Amino acid sequence: MEFSAHQIAGILNGEIVGNPDVSVSGLSKIEEGTEGTLSFLSNPKYEEHIYSTGASICIVNNTFTPLKTLPESLTLVKVDNAYACFAKLLEFYDQMRRKQPRIESPSYISTLASVGEDLYLGAFGYIGDGAKIGNNVVIYPHVYVGENVVIGDNTVLHPGAVVYADCVIGKNCVIHAGVKVGSDGFGFAPNEEGEYQKVPQIGNVIIEDNVEIGSNSTIDRATLGSTIIRKGVKLDNLVQIAHNVEIGKNTVMAAQVGVAGSAKIGERVQVGGQAGISGHLHIADGTQIVAQSGIPSTVKKAQVLMGSPGIPLEDYKKSYFGFRKLPFILTKIQEFDKKFKELNNK
């Protein structure tokens, strides 16, 4: 689908500099722009590319003033915030690509399930007994929705996602490919012979509104009660959330983070990739955890933590500086020891 500069400026309430009739049908990075594509410039680091880009339309900040001659084929749309406006267009474009309501075949909807208006259910999709599906839900092919699952309005489940029985997913959520919601928590108890016996996991998972979960992440059901992902949480790919964990509102976690059972993560917490958080602890609201850090105990106040075990960032930097100096320090100690022995022998 094509959009003209005039239409784009209307959507973004922007000012056109150039040809209002030029049209685009695709998006591109400014350094890779080609004819018929739309790009944007917000970071001055990339300004040099606007003077050679092949893009037909570029969204820029109102404050942008060219230092060189722009390509004749380039039309600018000036806005208050180029990055935010480009994101708005991406969202608009994504909505246009959204699947149109229909039920593909073969697929299965239990007669005991209730389904809202305008459902898209892809081929080989499954909706079990007692499930409740909201309005405008998109369920891509090969998705399993178990018994008594609740899915809120406008939520999207991408191919291969699995939602086990009794779990709840709120409104406006995005569950990416291969996500498993509600698989058993890792609960085993040793018997007298030292053999591990499974502890039944009879709780569920509750995911509140506006949550996005990246591909191949897993969220385990609670042993009792619920594993809870609060409103606005964003999880990257390959994240593991164990049983009875609670993640506070608007917390974000990068890829390969692992959270052990019964940990309580506060609101607006930021966790870098491959960080590990031990079980049965609390993380204070607003805490930031640097990638590959390990958090073994409760964090009572917001701070930036790095290392394993995680310590305040400035302390870590000082410690690391000392660690790097260890070979030099050891050499000096050996030299002093040698001189001391020589003096002692004399």
Cβ contacts of 134 within 8 Å, gap of 6 or more: 116, 151, 152, 153, 154, 155, 171
Given a contact cutoff of 8 angstroms between Cβ atoms, the answer to whether 227 and 245 are in contact is yes
Strand 120-121, strand 75-79: pairing:
unpaired
- Judged by DSSP in three states, 272 sits in coil
**Spatial distance between the Cα atoms of 309 and 303, rounded to a whole number of angstroms:** 14
Q: How far is CA 116 from CA 108, 113, 132, 201, in A?
A: 15, 10, 8, 30
Identify the burial level of 159 via C-beta atoms within 10 angstroms of its C-beta, where 0-12 means exposed, 13-18 middle and 19 or more buried: middle
> Is residue 243 annotated as a catalytic residue, yes or no?
yes
DSSP string, 155-198: -EE-TT-EE-TT-EE-TT-EE-TT-EEEEPP--EEE-TTS-EEE
Given a contact cutoff of 8 angstroms between Cβ atoms, the answer to whether 113 and 94 are in contact is no
Identify the burial level of 253 via C-beta atoms within 10 angstroms of its C-beta, where 0-12 means exposed, 13-18 middle and 19 or more buried: buried
Q: How far is CA 31 from CA 93, 139, 151, 285, in A?
A: 21, 36, 41, 39
Secondary structure letter of residue 53 according to DSSP: -
Given a contact cutoff of 8 angstroms between Cβ atoms, the answer to whether 31 and 45 are in contact is no
For residue 300, report the phi and psi dihedrals to the nearest 5 degrees.
-85, -25
Determine which one of 6, 176, 243, 280 is catalytic: 243
262, 230, 226: which is closest to 247 by C-alpha?
A: 230
For residue 253, report the phi and psi dihedrals to the nearest 5 degrees.
-135, 130
Which residues are annotated as catalytic? 243
